[in-house]
Amino acid sequence: MEYEHVPPTQIDRWTAAIQARGLADVAIPLLDVLQIWGFVGGQILWMLAPFVGKHTLAPFAEALEEPETLRQLQRRLREGEVQ
């Protein structure tokens, strides 16, 4: 795997993008579901990466496979802040 961990700056960008679109209220409960089913979604993204672009999908796939990354994103959305 090329990406071992999702950098905090990427989580900041996702937090800002979700908040800018007014989707924090939807994303917070969805992240609970993704913490359970995210590994499967991550594997699907890894399979699609050669067709879509590895650098495009890799951060998302890695995040889905790491429940702690999803918890951090959820925590930041609840707090309403980008660090």
Residue 78's nearest CA partner among 6, 35, 27, 37 is: 27
| Cα-only R_g, the chain | 12
- Inside any domain, residue 1: no
CA distance 26 to 40: 21
Mean pLDDT value of segment 2-22: 85
Residue 22: inside a domain, yes or no?
yes
Across 22-26, average pLDDT: 95
**Among 78, 69, 56, 75, CA closest to 8:** 69
Asked, for residue 51, whether it belongs to a domain, the answer is yes
Give a yes or no: residue 2 inside a domain: no
| Burial (CB count within 10 angstroms: exposed 0-12, middle 13-18, buried 19+), residue 74 | buried
Domain count, the chain: 1
Within-domain flag for 19: yes
Residue 3: pLDDT band (50, 70, 90) is: very low
Q: Please indicate, yes or no, if residue 42 is contained in any of the structural domains.
A: yes
Q: Is residue 26 part of a domain?
A: yes
- Full residue range of the structural domain in which residue 50 is found: 8-79
* pLDDT over 70 (residue 81): no
Domain-embedded: residue 50? yes
> With 60 as the cut, is the pLDDT of residue 34 above it?
yes
The whole-number average pLDDT for the span 1-28 is: 85
pTM, whole model, 2 decimals? 0.79
